[in-house]
Structure 1
Amino acid sequence: MDIDIDQSDKPDPEVTSWLEKLGPGLVTGAADDDPSGIATYSQAGAQFGFNMLWIAIITYPLMVAIQVISARLGRVSGHGLATNIRRHYSAWLLYGSVLLLLVANTINIAADLGAMGAALNLVVGGPTHVYTVALGVLSVVLQVFVPYRSYVRVLKWLTLALFAYVATVFVVQIPWQTVVIRTLAPQLSWKRDYLTTIVAVLGTTISPYLFFWQASQEVEEMRGQAGQRALKDAPGQGPASLRRIRMDTWIGMGVSNIVAFFIILTTAATLHAHGVTDIQTSAQAAVALKPIAGRFAFTLFSLGIVGTGLLALPVLAGSAAYAMAGTFKWRNSLALKPRLAKRFYAIIVLSTLIGLAMGFTRIDPVKALYWSAVINGVVSVPIMALIMFMAVNPKVMGNFVIPLRLRVTGWIATIAMATAALAMFWFMGR
């Protein structure tokens, strides 16, 4: 037994391929640019042009900080966020946060599925509702029946869909000198629409489901590797694991923010420049792009919606399932067979099916997205505060409490989201 303990506390073997080190952070960051996010970024570029590019840069370090802290919580404690909240905080905080997370995620699933079906219809024609149902079923089947290690590789490759938005920039005319000037010295406005858009972008970029997903994926990665244990119990594995988390998250959130930057840039250089300033959905952005930027840009933009949706759906449904499982002490892992984690997989299926059903109701998807953003903006604040408190608690983190630089940046991100939430309530009351 002593031999086993010593081996399990050996440092992580250095992975020779940098690509193998990318996982939870890359997938989480890429999933942030879902069809709903694409719609938000498109509206920002269409309405305010290059004067909204700065926000993609400002949100980057804030996003990295809170996601690194979430990942460390999972890897150090060996448990997801919901389990840690249940163990250390009041039940009403846990139940309230998880309930609102479920509502927001289900609405996001509905909006993303609708956008994916509409985008596929734009490219190949045919029945939008059939495409929507087929894509929803495909996502569920992949999550439930494809082995975890294989499915993670699929998600990694799906991140390439995001580069459709980088490629789009190079098929339209971009005034690069103006872009640089407006990014570094934007013409800011204190008008209601401008501030509301900033709130929307913040709420889209820093969302609770991303915290739950990345923490839980770190636990999955730990369980999937022989000899790996929670860092609190095996500190010798800490240095290599924390280096991997940092690199993975910096790259993953970098991909997310670069793509957001390019979506704002593309729509600013095309739609805003031609007077198209009101974009409600990602599919509408693609349609508006076609006569201005050409069919190739339109096709890239549309196919990117489908690809990013397939990447985001498992993150939305999976984070809801991890949160519920951690709350009620259910067995949970995408590596388990469905019969061994029935309730965990049931949440994945139900949240996707409910999202599908919402697409066949009279619920306005634009209003649904608005309320989803409001809920995300509100829910993120207490969850981020709890994450920050847990990250400095030795009972949770052992000797791996977060360093000062992460504490400062994490609290700045939390305060920024609190300000965004207050701004939402202020605008709602006017």
Structure 2
Amino acid sequence: MSSSTPAGRATIAPPGRGEPEARRSRGLLAIGPAFVAAVAYVDPGNIATNTAAGATYGFLLLWVVVLATLMAGPVQYLSAKLGLVTGKSLPAYVAGRVSRRARIAYWMQAEAVAIATDIAEIIGAALAMHLLFGMPLVPAGLIAGAIGMLLLAARDRLGRRFLESMCLVSLFVIGAGFVVGVLTSPPGLDDLAGGLVPALGGAETVLLAAGIVGATVMPHAVYLHSSLTAERPVDRGHLMQRLRWTRMDVGTAMILAGGINVSMLVLGATALRGVPDDSFGAAAAALTERVGDGAGTAFLVALLVSGVSSTAVGTHAGAAIMAGLLHRQVSPLVRRAVTLVPALVLLASGLEPVTVLVLSQVALALGLPFALIPLLRATCDAKLMGPWRNHRALTAVAVAIVAIVVVIDLVLVGLVVTGRG
């Protein structure tokens, strides 16, 4: 027997079974999508911006990392809720409410965000292979892209639980890589407390702060999360329960990702303080010299796992964006080529990879309003969401998040226009 949500979504009622067993099964269905999105929160772009911020400015921007994580939680929950309640992804929602010309324009900026994301992930993985195994950068980038494709093929063959499990394992491996460094060079409590006091130190710190926000509240993760939850039918009578489990899924994933991001900056502010912020090689060498061989290797392994796992997630997000906005499925090989080629060109150009990574995250910050404003509008729409529309407190939080992102972007654009950025 089936029923419909306020958006007209066809849903599937659960089969007859004991209620405790059915409740556990419905809860388990809600667990996992947030961990896929969370991998995007600890990709090589995060590593570059957070460690660069710590190495150059100490704990000054720690509050930005914490604030960005606190912003990311409600955003990911709203994205998940939109998919659950309506059965549509955020790109599909936008596509249904704008003209064809506006839809194409929106897709172009979303595609640019996906390319910027993949640039960071491929470059990070390639650089890790280069430093760990001595591989040339361009072949290493090709291998990273191929591994991402294999992971998605395995997901198609083995089911979505494979990708979710892979992402969870990746989060723990990445976290372990940074915790090793932090524990061997622990920060002082006074330093941590001081870093939580909001402050900036000039135009360069604004650029890094924008990069941190863009690397954490990532547009493609917002698009993807709504698509992942839309894939999972839920009976209307059990929707409130599924939303509670979804909040747990998002909260747990954000705590884990947020802790890893804090560890990145803390590692930069302690073991990497004063190390040039434009070279992962210099960072790994400094960790080896100051902390020990294990710390340098753990850092590079974390970078490799971060790049490989997040490139699979990024390609998946790009496919969801194209399917929602253009109403067509594109071969994963074609999607991989579209986003891989720019990364390989940059790897071959001789530009400093870490600088490219930081700038790519700034580009993500500029793309955030295009994801957040439609998401806020959709989840506040009573006709679309019915009784599951945002309540006033959640709306106020979401409006504040959008306002912070827009202000950061306006300041960033102002610095670029005046030549100070």
TM-score (norm 1): 0.85
> Could you tell me which amino acid in structure 2 is paired with residue 136 of structure 1?
G
Assess if the C-alpha contact under 8 Å between 1:82 and 1:212 holds in 2: yes
Is 1:400 the counterpart of 2:412 in the alignment?
no
Counterpart of 2:415 in structure 1: which amino acid?
F
| Whole-angstrom distance in 1 between the partners of 2:400 and 2:2 | 44
Q: Cα 1:261–1:2, aligned 2, differ >3 Å: closer, same or farther?
A: closer
Residue 149 of structure 2 corresponds to which residue in structure 1?
A: 140
Structure 2 equivalent of residue 203 of structure 1: 214
Q: 1:418, CA displacement in angstroms?
A: 0.3
Paired AA for residue 245 in structure 1: T
Please give the residue correspondences for 1:149-168 in structure 2 after superposition, counting only pairs within 5 Å. 149=160, 150-168=162-180
1:235 is aligned to 236
| Number of equivalenced pairs | 405
For 2:223, the equivalent position in structure 1 comes to 212
Q: Write the mapping of 1:7-156 to structure 2, written as runs, cut at 5 A.
A: 8=13, 13-15=22-24, 22-146=31-155, 147=157, 148-149=159-160, 150-156=162-168
Shift of 1:317: 1.3
The range that moved more, 15-24 or 260-269, is: 15-24
Q: In the superposition, relative to structure 1, how do residues 158 and 20 fare at CA in structure 2: closer, same or farther (>3 Å)? A: farther
- How far the C-alpha of 1:164 sits from its partner, in A, is 2.4
SS of 1:279's equivalent in the other structure is: coil
The answer to whether the 8 Å contact 2:148/2:311 transfers is yes
Equivalent position of 1:248 in the other structure: 249
Which residue, 318, 338, 350 being the options, matches 1:351? 338
Shift of 1:395: 3.3
The answer on whether the counterparts of 1:71 and 1:245 sit within 8 Å (CA) in structure 2 is yes
- Residues in 2 aligned to 1:351 and 1:201: alpha-carbon distance in whole angstroms: 26
C-alpha change, 1:393 and 1:16, in structure 2 (3 Å) is: closer
Q: Is the 8 A contact 2:27 2:242 kept in 1?
A: no
TM-score by length of 2: 0.87
Secondary structure in 2 aligned to 1:270? coil
Q: Give unmatched runs, 5+ long, in structure 2.
A: 5-9
Give the superposition deviation at 1:303.
Answer: 0.2
Q: C-alpha root-mean-square deviation of aligned residues, in Å?
A: 2.8
User: Which residue of structure 2 lines up, in the alignment, with residue 381 of structure 1?
Assistant: 369
* Cα-to-partner distance string for 1:320-341 (whole Å, 9 max, x where unaligned): 111111112225xxxxxxxxxx
| Map 1:251-290 → 2, pairs under 5 A | 251-272=252-273, 275-276=274-275, 278-290=276-288
Note closer, same or farther for the CA distance 1:112–1:287 as it changes in structure 2 (3 Å cut).
farther
Residue in structure 2 matched with residue 180 of structure 1 by the alignment: 192
Q: Which region of structure 1 is more displaced relative to structure 2, 409-418 or 129-138?
A: 129-138
Which secondary structure state, in structure 2, belongs to the residue aligned with residue 13 of structure 1?
helix
Contact 1:100 1:375 in 2 (8 A): no
Secondary structure of the corresponding residue to residue 139 of structure 2:
helix
Query: Equivalents in 1 of 2:103, 2:285: separation in Å?
Result: 42
Amino acid at match of 1:292: R
